[in-house]
A and B are shown apart, each in its own frame.
Chain A
Amino acid sequence: DADVTQTPRNRITKTGKRIMLECSQTKGHDRMYWYRQDPGLGLRLIYYSFDVKDINKGEISDGYSVSRQAQAKFSLSLESAIPNQTALYFCATSETQRENFHNEQFFGPGTRLTVL
């Protein structure tokens, strides 16, 4: 079974609709992240959470919101979807950093979102 799962895997929606993307992990990691990937732009950080009570904006948080329902769950919402939010969305997790050691992030399989 996958350690980091995302639902749905694919979604087509219309402009103005509210959309929620869900991420669950069984790795026991405290830290979770949401990224979007656009062709030619790499991955850009939307939001991240270091624990259930800690939510932080990334570089492109406008138009998005998140909810950390539990250590294992981190949801991304588009309150009113627009076409330029069409992208591939990834959830990732990592262990809490130890001093002078940055852990790698483990990624989910991605959600392909199309906003018409």
Chain B
Amino acid sequence: AQKVTQAQTEISVVEKEDVTLDCVYETRDTTYYLFWYKQPPSGELVFLIRRNSFDEQNEISGRYSWNFQKSTSSFNFTITASQVVDSAVYFCALSEALRDDKIIFGKGTRLHILP
């Protein structure tokens, strides 16, 4: 069965600190996709990244980086030099190739960046 676990319910850090959001997934498929979405206080869901199971290269986009490790079934998200605007709920999600494009979301991590 597919499952996404975000063990950190809520995190608070002081602005400019680095912070890592953990995501652990379970799947029986060899082909699958992982996603991160951001939900700022305004409520909309913003797509951040997609990674397929065959590409284990880490990804960096500005202050954001993602570490995909199949050996530990993890797809962690790091924000470097955090800013108050990074305050949001972040969702990790999984889509299996054999289950079409249904996405299973984790329960989210609420991130507070304190000024």
Contact = CB atoms under 8 A, between A and B. Distances in A.
Interface of A: 31, 40-45, 48, 50, 58, 88, 90, 92, 94, 97, 100-110
B47 A105 contact: yes
Given A40-B107, A42-B106, 14 more contacts: A41-B107, A42-B105, A42-B107, A43-B105, A44-B105, A92-B45, A97-B101, A102-B50, A104-B35, A104-B50, A107-B37, A107-B44, A109-B43, A109-B44
Interface of B: 9, 31, 33, 35, 37, 43-45, 47, 50, 52, 91, 95, 97, 100-103, 105-108
Contacts of A45: 102-103
A58 B9 CA distance: 25
For the complex of A and B, the 8 pairs showing the least CB-CB separation, nearest first, are A107-B45, A42-B107, A102-B33, A42-B105, A43-B105, A104-B47, A102-B95, A110-B43
Given A40-B9, A48-B102, A58-B102, A106 B107 contact: no
B105 A102 contact: no
A31 B103 CA distance: 13
Nearest to B9: A40
A88 B41 CA distance: 13
22 contacts: A40-B9, A41-B107, A42-B105, A42-B107, A43-B91, A45-B102, A45-B103, A100-B97, A102-B50, A102-B52, A102-B101, A103-B101, A104-B50, A105-B47, A105-B103, A106-B47, A107-B45, A108-B44, A109-B43, A110-B43, A110-B44, A110-B45
A50 B102 CA distance: 11
A94 B44 contact: no
A42 B108 contact: yes
A97 B100 contact: yes
From A43, A94, A101, A102, residue with most partner B Cβ within 10 Å: A102
Contacts of B45: 43, 90, 92, 107, 110
Nearest to B46: A107
Which of B35, B45, B50 has the most chain A CB within a 10 Å cutoff?
B45
